[in-house]
Amino acid sequence: MRPADVLWNAAPGALKPVEGEVNVFCASLDVSPNRLEELVQPLSDDEWQRAGRFHLERDRQRFLAGRGTLREILGMLLKVKSASFVFSNGEFGKPKIAAPVAAHSLHFNLAHSDTIAVYATAQHALGVDVERIRAMGETEQIASRFFSPREVRCLLALPAEQRREAFFNCWTRKEAYLKAIGLGLDDCLDQIEVSLAPGEAAELLGVPNDSRPWLLRSLIPAAEFVGALAIQQEASRVNCWKWNGPP
């Protein structure tokens, strides 16, 4: 078992955005009916409309819990009411704070997988991704389509029992970087090279046409999950917290 609980303590009450610091929060998306009721209070019409598009009630509730938690965390950090946030999207869908104006300088990004969501906040651009480590058919075919030839060689050189985690290390690191630059997944995944072997430090080994100094960090928000954070070099102190509601 990997030491997820050791690394992520409950978020303290007095957190605020600090230059050079990244706060990462992990929250459960499976919450009690009472907690969900509390979380949905500040949601916007747009968020309710998006929730209405899910086919499964379980997915709808997880989406609502995720958006409510985002507002709760941002409200706690910026000391504003969680209902007062208005979000706008970049060209490829990356959300940012549009209002209140005083909150503009806080960057955030989030990702969800199965029962959990991970949120990252800082005063610099950043991207985060998380995936549950799970069995997938045709892992090698997917890797050869989306990973670079060096990454595929590295994956196949690992003992079979390490490949699943290595695959998701690679996937989340690439996605965190693409989310940091605001693109999301497109057909350049194989041009971004990252480290992937379990136990090896997360490293960005190569990116096309980007001279900015990005750093990658690996995240272990819960047992069976792996994640990655892409941040600018100026924001290199990373605090990881569990979020169960306002402290």
The residues of the shown chain that bind ligand COA, judged by CB under 6 A, are 66-67, 92-95, 109-112, 127, 129, 175, 179, 182-186
Residue nearest to ligand COA (CB): 184
Q: Which is nearer to ligand COA, 57 or 186 (CB)?
A: 186
CB of 124 to ligand COA, least distance (A): 14
CB of 221 to ligand COA, least distance (A): 13
Q: Which is nearer to ligand COA, 93 or 247 (CB)?
A: 93
CB of 159 to ligand COA, least distance (A): 27
Task: Provide φ and ψ at 81, rounded to 5°.
Answer: -65, 135
Q: Which is nearer to ligand COA, 125 or 166 (CB)?
A: 125
Q: How many CA atoms lie within 13 A of 203 on its CB side?
A: 9
CB of 18 to ligand COA, least distance (A): 23
CB of 153 to ligand COA, least distance (A): 25
Q: Which is nearer to ligand COA, 111 or 235 (CB)?
A: 111
Q: Which is nearer to ligand COA, 113 or 195 (CB)?
A: 113
